[in-house]
Chain A
Amino acid sequence: MLTVLFDGVAYGMLLFILSCGLSVTLGMMNFVNLAHGAFAMIGGYATAQLMNEAGVPFLACLPVAFLIAAVLGLVLERTLYVRLYRKSHLDQVLFSIGLAFVAMSTMDYFFGAQQRLITLPDFLRGQFEVFGARIGVYRLFLIILCGLITIALQLFVSRTRIGSQLRAAVDDARVAGGLGINVSRIFAGTFAFGSGLAGLGGALGLDLLGVDPVFPIKYMIYFLIVVTVGGTRSMVGPFIAALIIGVADVAGKYYVPQVGAFVIYTVMVVILMIRPEGLMGRRATR
């Protein structure tokens, strides 16, 4: 029981890191980016390649995965995404599906269709027992690392100058621009950072999820659930949603394996039924 809870929390934390970039673009900037998983996939592939081919240690790969995904995000934001901020949701959906398809078949072309896995370094492997619950070392590492990132993010968005500029730009881009905030630079930076976090999540998730060319579509629904269920107001909503989804998914697979992924789809549809604006949401302003 406690083991399931612990694993679920670790999984939820990972989901949060994977999807918090999306919660900013989709939740705050109101842009539906279905290609978000592609950035996670890039991070995962970068780490798998570096570790398996070049022998780079795992911890050193993490910042690299972040950087590669962030740079890619920045380039794509400046060249393509920026043209779509004002278009309809449907346009954004179609565009980002297209982008995800391109990324998926490119990865397939270069790395083949089989799943990539890694071997974790020794100090992150194994498990120990506390109060009858089996605690995996790597999962504990995930919880601590992701927890720290989450706290840092929340403080960053709510306390710093750039954080408040971001919130202002999201609330009303025109007025924020009128006050001298460089909105497009803020958006570009945020997008790049969110993509970078996805890349980091892809790298961190290698041990649990692996990475293959269908990764963006396979996990897209999880990211979307986290964000739509979590609502758009703060980092807290998606965080709680990620934990709920993580625990529900692990518990569902553990206790009722025959229904499989049904549990989380049901959770999503039910929550959206009760609160169309998300758990912690407010009504969209536009």
Chain B
Amino acid sequence: MSAVSETGLASRAAAHASLVAARRLRPAEIAFWLMPIAGYFLFPDRLALLSEIAILGLFALSLDILLGFAGIVSLGHAAFFGLGAYTAGILGKYGWTEPLSGLAIAALVAGAVGFITSFLVLRGNDLTRLMVTLGVSLMLAEAANRLGWLTGGADGLTGVMIGPVFGVFEFDIFGVTAYWYAVGVLFVLFCLARYLASSVFGLTLRGIKGNSLRMAAIGAPVNLNLVTAYTIGAAYAGVAGGLLAQTTQFASLDVLEFQRSAEVLLVLLIGGSGYLYGGLIGAVLFKLMHDLLSDLTPQYWQFWLGILLVVLVLSSREGVRGLYLRVAARFARSRHPGRKGGAA
């Protein structure tokens, strides 16, 4: 009897230790976050591109919360990005020019729609989820197209005015403020996501992704957790969209397009999902590739996008992280010939 409780206590302590260990900051992470600072000094004339990377990174992070942690597949994540973009844009157009509160409202709107639609999404299997998320995003795109008086329809939403950040830093034509604003928001939200991922909530999500039946059997509220994750993911995507609308002072129908949902999936595919940094790394690689390839063949970027998707899926969908882990495993094996190789 006491042996049982002792092992229980021991495993509890071990679990606590692993939770704390997961939260510890690793040197590679600090190096990673030095990159945006380095980028600012190395490419001062490409700040627009760098801001786009930060925004795409945040968008991919929001999808990673759904896909990588909760295991919810989505073909229509652009719905929330677009909602955020139009919310922030419309606020700016009609006089609410304070950027941070605009972002917060964008997050609230996207999160609220995410919360409502999550009940539709959580029914059924993967296939139904793909269809319902796609359907919801198409409905929103059609709505934005029809509500021309509000959204500007096919011409896009123009005349967006955004005030200075914290009331001090005006948005300038060089994109300096826009860049630091986007990177700052990304950093704060990333830290929050990182905290959530190693919290009990994050671990429960991973458990549900692994086996939702067993998680339900040990008493975890499966649906409540999934609804929460979906809502958070939607709100994050809304912030990403809001950032885009605020920094470019424009929003058009393409923020809601199917293409965008497909692109963000590809970003996550490149970077690898389920460890938070995948979306950011994927966004960097994706945007650089986009920049390079559209310089070569501006019209046929979509062709390369398609080839990339096909090749990545056929090569077993591990992304750069899978590549890294495999190389690392081989390295470890050659150093310790006796041990069995193979990483997570």
Residues of A within 8 A of B (CB): 26, 32, 80, 83-84, 87-91, 93-95, 97-106, 108-109, 217, 221, 224-225, 228, 258-262, 265-266, 268-269, 272-273, 276-277, 284
Q: How far is the CB of A175 from chain B (nearest CB, A)?
A: 22
Decide if B128 touches A98 in the complex (CB within 8 Å).
Answer: no
Decide if A102 touches B303 in the complex (CB within 8 Å).
Answer: yes
How many of chain B's residues touch chain A, expressed as a range? 35 or more
Q: 21 A–B contact pairs at CB < 8 A?
A: A88-B126, A90-B126, A90-B265, A93-B75, A93-B130, A93-B265, A95-B310, A97-B265, A101-B306, A101-B309, A104-B306, A105-B299, A221-B135, A260-B145, A261-B142, A262-B139, A262-B146, A268-B131, A272-B120, A276-B125, A276-B128
User: From B311, which residue of chain A is reached at the shortest CB distance?
Assistant: A98
Decide if A102 touches B307 in the complex (CB within 8 Å).
Answer: yes
Decide if A224 touches B124 in the complex (CB within 8 Å).
Answer: no
Residues of B within 8 A of A268 (CB): 131, 135
| Alpha-carbon distance between A23 and B321 when the two chains are bound, in angstroms | 36
Which of A99, A106, A265 is within 8 Å of B138, CB to CB?
Answer: A265
Residues of B within 8 A of A217 (CB): 258-259
Q: How far is the CB of A152 from chain B (nearest CB, A)?
A: 28
Decide if B262 touches A97 in the complex (CB within 8 Å).
Answer: yes
Question: If A101-B303, A106-B303, A108-B299 touch, does A272 touch B128 (CB 8 Å cutoff)?
Answer: yes
Residues of B within 8 A of A108 (CB): 299-300
Residues of B within 8 A of A88 (CB): 126
What does DSSP make chain B's interface, helix, strand, loop or mixed? helix
Question: If A108-B300, A266-B139 touch, does A94 touch B134 (CB 8 Å cutoff)?
Answer: no
Which of A99, A106, A262 is within 8 Å of B310, CB to CB?
Answer: A99
Which of A89, A104, A276 is within 8 Å of B302, CB to CB?
Answer: A104
Decide if B314 touches A83 in the complex (CB within 8 Å).
Answer: yes
User: From A229, which residue of chain B is reached at the shortest CB distance?
Assistant: B131
Most buried by A among B127, B307, B309, B310: B127
Residues of A within 8 A of B124 (CB): 272, 276-277
| Alpha-carbon distance between A102 and B302 when the two chains are bound, in angstroms | 7
Q: How far is the CB of B226 from chain A (nearest CB, A)?
A: 15
Residues of A within 8 A of B139 (CB): 262, 265-266, 269
Residues of B within 8 A of A (CB): 67, 73, 75, 120, 123-128, 130-132, 134-136, 138-139, 142-143, 145-146, 258-259, 262, 265-266, 269, 299-300, 302-303, 305-310, 312-314, 317
Residues of A within 8 A of B266 (CB): 94
Decide if A87 touches B134 in the complex (CB within 8 Å).
Answer: no
Question: If A84-B313, A260-B142 touch, does A101 touch B135 (CB 8 Å cutoff)?
Answer: no
Decide if A80 touches B310 in the complex (CB within 8 Å).
Answer: yes
| Alpha-carbon distance between A217 and B75 when the two chains are bound, in angstroms | 13
User: From B75, which residue of chain A is reached at the shortest CB distance?
Assistant: A93
| Alpha-carbon distance between A133 and B277 when the two chains are bound, in angstroms | 62
Residues of A within 8 A of B299 (CB): 105, 108
Question: If A95-B314, A221-B135, A265-B135 touch, does A101 touch B305 (CB 8 Å cutoff)?
Answer: yes
Question: If A89-B126, A228-B128, A262-B139 touch, does A102 touch B73 (CB 8 Å cutoff)?
Answer: no
Decide if A105 touches B134 in the complex (CB within 8 Å).
Answer: no
Decide if A221 touches B146 in the complex (CB within 8 Å).
Answer: no
| Alpha-carbon distance between A234 and B184 when the two chains are bound, in angstroms | 54
| Alpha-carbon distance between A277 and B125 when the two chains are bound, in angstroms | 9
| Alpha-carbon distance between A90 and B314 when the two chains are bound, in angstroms | 12
Which of B126, B269, B307 is within 8 Å of A94, CB to CB?
Answer: B269
Residues of A within 8 A of B123 (CB): 272-273, 276
Decide if B307 touches A98 in the complex (CB within 8 Å).
Answer: yes
Which of B134, B138, B306, B317 is within 8 Å of A91, CB to CB?
Answer: B317
Question: If A83-B314, A93-B130 touch, does A102 touch B138 (CB 8 Å cutoff)?
Answer: no
Question: If A89-B130, A228-B128 touch, does A94 touch B135 (CB 8 Å cutoff)?
Answer: no
| Alpha-carbon distance between A149 and B73 when the two chains are bound, in angstroms | 35
Decide if A258 touches B146 in the complex (CB within 8 Å).
Answer: yes
CB-CB nearest 5 A-B residue pairs: A98-B309, A101-B306, A276-B124, A102-B306, A105-B303
| Alpha-carbon distance between A109 and B67 when the two chains are bound, in angstroms | 34
| Alpha-carbon distance between A79 and B307 when the two chains are bound, in angstroms | 15
Residues of B within 8 A of A26 (CB): 127
User: From B317, which residue of chain A is reached at the shortest CB distance?
Assistant: A91
Q: How far is the CB of A240 from chain B (nearest CB, A)?
A: 18
Residues of B within 8 A of A109 (CB): 300, 303
Decide if B306 touches A98 in the complex (CB within 8 Å).
Answer: yes
| Alpha-carbon distance between A91 and B313 when the two chains are bound, in angstroms | 6
User: From B303, which residue of chain A is reached at the shortest CB distance?
Assistant: A105
Residues of B within 8 A of A100 (CB): 306
Residues of B within 8 A of A98 (CB): 305-310, 313
Decide if B136 touches A269 in the complex (CB within 8 Å).
Answer: yes
Since A88-B126, A105-B306 are in contact, a sample of 13 more A-B pairs with Cβ atoms closer than 8 Å, ordered by chain A residue number, is: A98-B308, A101-B305, A217-B259, A221-B134, A221-B135, A228-B131, A259-B146, A260-B142, A260-B146, A272-B124, A272-B131, A276-B125, A277-B124
